[in-house]
Amino acid sequence: MEKVIIGMSGGVDSSVAALLLMEDGYEVEGLFMRNWDSSLNNDILGNPNIKNNDICPQEKDYNDALAVCNKLGIKLHRVDFIKEYWDYVFTYFLDELKKGRTPNPDIMCNKYIKFDYFTKKAKELGANYIATGHYAKIEDGYLKKAFDKNKDQTYFLSQLSKEQLDHVLFPLGNIDKPTVRKIALEHNLVTANKKDSTGICFIGERNFKQFLTNYLPAKSGVVVDIATNKVVGEHCGLMYYTIGQRKGLNIGGNQDKMFVVGKNLEKNILYVSFGDNEYLYSDSCILEQVNFNCDIRPVNAMAKFRYRQEDIPVQIEYLDDGLKISYNHVKSVTPGQACVIYDDDICIGGGIIKEVRKNNKKLWYLL
């Protein structure tokens, strides 16, 4: 019997994934990861749990994972990757914010923690495979979109290598979320009606502005109308704003829609535009940190620049040090975000957006 170590998060997805693996005849054991420690990591400001005398959310998750494993009759191991998460995920997150970019820590958490350090620990425990509750498929050696397209999480798996995917099982790849809930209820799992986790990967819900002040000094500056070069307000720190953002700008007196369109890190300027205009659109971008998980190298493909975004037709030019991705008039393509590439339903990989262009010229107002 082949042994599978599954990442148990204390949520309904990993709970049902473990159950399905058992039904498929695997020897299953769970492994709970603790990747964040609020006291060690100075997570004070913006933490809604810091003054709460009740059990902290991570311990609640562990207890839920343990209850599920006890119900299923499987062993649950526990491991701390607090230092590794800080070194490889959170430091990257902070460094990208310092550059004024928009990082995705979930992607790096998968690359370095869930499918690297976790895998090494699982092998120590004798695993033939690891498994997670991600909505994705491995078919014929390819990473493919899940049956439930609304929950598909291949976007977050785009930085994984072929070697990392070779011994991974995704039990939820062929079912949808309502079915997962139904299975959990039928088996009386304590996680059946538990809400999905939100917020920063493994950290959870935080007041984002207050949370970041634990680690990065906020530096206020001016907000400038990019069309007129006139100052129209004040921002509270460039790191708090993303390209295309419309809500939360707190600039009164303007009736038109206002969008964030760019940043000047050196001068600490936040650029906005009024109305949905051309400043928000581009036609190509350059990718760095490019990763492929298979041998497919299309010239014409589909891509996502944000999770849950509709697939966008793109043309790919293979450069010595990255990729050039061309497309037609797409809104809010943002440095620091991931561009994930698809050949039909196959996720072949992707990269991090380094530079955004229009008419073969870098947009000067995007970092």
Instruction: Return the ∠ at Cα 99 (arms to 93 and 104), rounded to 5°.
Output: 30
Q: What amino acid is encoded at 111 in this protein?
A: K
268, 218 Cβ separation under 8 angstroms? no
What are the domain boundaries of the chain?
3-208, 218-276, 281-362
pLDDT in tens, 280-313: 999 999 999 999 999 999 999 999 999 999 999 9
- 80-116 pLDDT, tens digit per residue, is 999 999 999 999 999 999 999 999 999 999 999 999 9
Superfamily of segment(s) 218-276: Adenine nucleotide alpha hydrolases-like domains (2.30.30.280)
Q: Is the pLDDT of residue 257 over 60?
A: yes
Instruction: Give one DSSP letter per residue of 152-202, joined into a string.
Output: --GGGGTT--HHHHTTEE-TTTTS-HHHHHHHHHHTT-TTTTPPPP-SBTT
Q: Please pick, among 56, 69, 201, 347, the residue that the annotation labels catalytic.
A: 201
Question: With b meaning 16 or more CB within 10 Å and e meaning fewer, what string describes 16-27?
Answer: bbbbbbbeeebe
Euclidean distance between the first and the last CA atom of the chain, given in angstroms as a whole number: 53
pLDDT at 266 (0 to 100)? 95
For residue 187, pLDDT over 90 is answered with yes
Architecture of the domain defined by 3-208: 3-Layer(aba) Sandwich (3.40)
pTM above 0.85, yes or no: yes
- Residue 43: other Cβ atoms inside 10 A: 19
Q: What's the mean pLDDT in 107-135?
A: 98
Joined tokens for residue 328 = 């037609």
Report residue 254's pLDDT band, with 50, 70 and 90 as the boundaries: low
Question: What pLDDT does residue 198 have?
Answer: 78
Asked if 346 contacts 317 with a C-beta cutoff of 8 angstroms, the reply is no
Do 3-208 and 281-362 show the same overall fold? no
Check whether 52 has a pLDDT greater than 70.
Answer: no
What pairs with residue 355 in β-bridges? Answer: 286
109 has catalytic annotation: yes
In terms of pLDDT, which residue wins out, 275 or 281?
A: 281
Single out the residue of 152, 157, 153 nearest to residue 108, CA to CA: 157
Q: Kindly tell me if the per-residue pLDDT of 150 is higher than 80.
A: yes
Whether the CA torsion 176, 76, 78, 60 is positive or negative: it is positive
Q: What is the pLDDT of residue 250?
A: 75
CA–CA dist 93, 6 (Å, integer): 26
What is the spatial distance between Cα 124 and Cα 113, in angstroms, rounded to a whole number? 15
**Nearest-angstrom CA–CA distance, 325 and 132:** 31
Please write the tens of the pLDDT for every residue from 200-246. 788 888 888 899 999 999 899 999 999 999 999 999 999 999 999 99
What pLDDT is stored for residue 9 in this prediction? 96
Query: Hey, what amino acid is at 291?
Result: N
Give residue 339's Cα distance to chain centre. 12
Task: Judge contact between 261 and 272, C-beta under 8 A.
Answer: yes
Q: Which residue among the candidates 109, 285, 339, 347 is catalytic per the annotation?
A: 109
Which residues are registered as beta bridge partners of 287? 323, 353
| pLDDT of 54 | 61
**Domain 281-362 CATH class label:** mainly beta
Pairing outcome for strands 269-274 and 3-7: unpaired
Above 80 in pLDDT, residue 318? yes
pLDDT for 53 equals 58
Q: Output the CA torsion 9→15→18→22 (10° steps).
A: 160
Residue 255 has pLDDT above 60, yes or no: no
Residue 274: count other Cβ atoms within 10 Å of its Cβ: 17
Would you state the pLDDT for residue 367?
A: 84
What are the distances in angstroms from CA 99 to CA 91, 96, 263, 367?
13, 5, 10, 8
Q: CA-CA distance, 297 to 279, in Å (whole number)? A: 31
Residue 331: per-residue pLDDT: 96
Q: From the DSSP assignment, how many helices (H) and strands (E) are in the chain? A: 9, 18
Residue 285 is among the residues annotated as catalytic for this protein: no
Long-range contacts of 26-29 (CB under 8 A, 24+ apart): 26/1, 26/2, 26/129, 27/1, 27/2, 27/3, 28/3, 28/4, 28/72, 28/74, 29/3, 29/4, 29/5, 29/74, 29/75, 29/76, 29/77, 29/125, 29/127
- Is residue 61 helix, strand or coil? helix
- The predicted model gives 178-193 an average pLDDT of 97
